[in-house]
Amino acid sequence: MWASLFRAEWKKIVGNRRATGGLMWIFPALAILATVLGLLAAAFSSSFRDGLGNEPLKWTETAILPWLIPNNPLGRALLLGFTAVLFAGEYQWDTWKSIVPRSRRVPLIVAKFAAVAVFVVFAFILMSTLLTMGMGLVSSAAGASYGPALSGQELASFSEDYGLQMLYAFVNTMIAAGFVALSAMITRSILATVVTSFFIALGETLLLFPLYLVSALLNTPWILHVYRFLPSYNLLSLFAWLQGGPPDGLEMPSGELVVDGAVFSEVVLLCWVIGLIAMTAYLFHRQDI
């Protein structure tokens, strides 16, 4: 059942050409465009060739570069728009009415979450692959090196870094999809879902300043601890630990620095993912569609 539901959701995502083309396939297309522009520059610009010769590209850095997009606030906004179309669009296009028996609503919504997250990761794997290969062609055309040389140690280090970026994007997408799905359950409108989920995500990211202000004005430092339980803070904290260094931590008005461990962040993020999916599934199960 789960495999068939996942395949069905995947086909719906791929079939939604406007959403996938405008918000996801555009990234692999940008990798191809960057390759074409790089090849033209290598062919007609001696300064470009000299620049690559003096500071050659590295395939390890090039491959990871596309993952900066889904793992920053602007990229997260694009993810919100993409998932809003997929979740809220089901209401506006009346597809829920024809395909959703009440007994299978929970598996359906869970499969939709999984399909969205896997599709986003797949799109950026494709962009990363195309960009890495493309910059290799550009470097070759410019007569520049494209290291580092393949070795067991280099591949192991790269695989670890690449896997962390993929995991970060997957968890980030699941949490973003959770905000979007909850908004879609309530508003049943693509535009309203985009606006609502965007303000939720933005507010969650920028909440530190008002919490700090209230804490200082009321002399209640415990209020700042609320920020330690938000997903964006714990995403940054966890992946700082996984990359081999402690996170910046949260500085209290007293000057005390609170640094949470990796296990704390893992538990908080797991609770957010499970909680958002469970709440969405509960509302979806009880809805009169």
Report residues of the chain scoring pLDDT below 50. Answer: none
- 202-215 pLDDT, tens digit per residue, is 777 778 788 888 87
Q: What is the pLDDT of residue 34?
A: 92
3-class SS letters over 77-122: HHHHHHHHHHHHHHHHCCHHHHHCCHHHHHHHHHHHHHHHHHHHHH
pLDDT at 92: 72
- Say which residues have a Cβ less than 8 Å from residue 250's Cβ, sequence separation at least 6: 224, 227, 228, 233, 257, 258, 259
User: Structure tokens of 54?
Assistant: 């003096």
Domain ranges of the chain: 2-286
Task: Provide the 3-class DSSP secondary structure of residue 206.
Answer: helix
- Could you tell me which residues come within 8 angstroms of residue 107 by beta carbon, excluding any fewer than 6 positions away? 1, 2, 5
pLDDT of residue 132: 93
What values do phi and psi take at 25, rounded to 5? -65, -15
Handedness of CA 275, 276, 277, 279 (dihedral sign): positive
From the number of C-beta atoms within 10 Å of its C-beta (0-12, 13-18, 19+), residue 259 rates as: middle
Q: Which residues fall within 8 angstroms of residue 53, CB to CB, at 6 or more apart?
A: 142, 143, 144
Spell out the SS3 assignment of 207-273.
Answer: CHHHHHHHHHHHCCHHHHHHHHHCHHHHHHHHHHHHCCCCCCCEECCCCCEECCCHHHHHHHHHHHH
- Please give the Cα distance from 257 to 90 (Å, whole number): 46
The confidence score (pLDDT) of residue 129 equals 93
pLDDT number for residue 149:
79
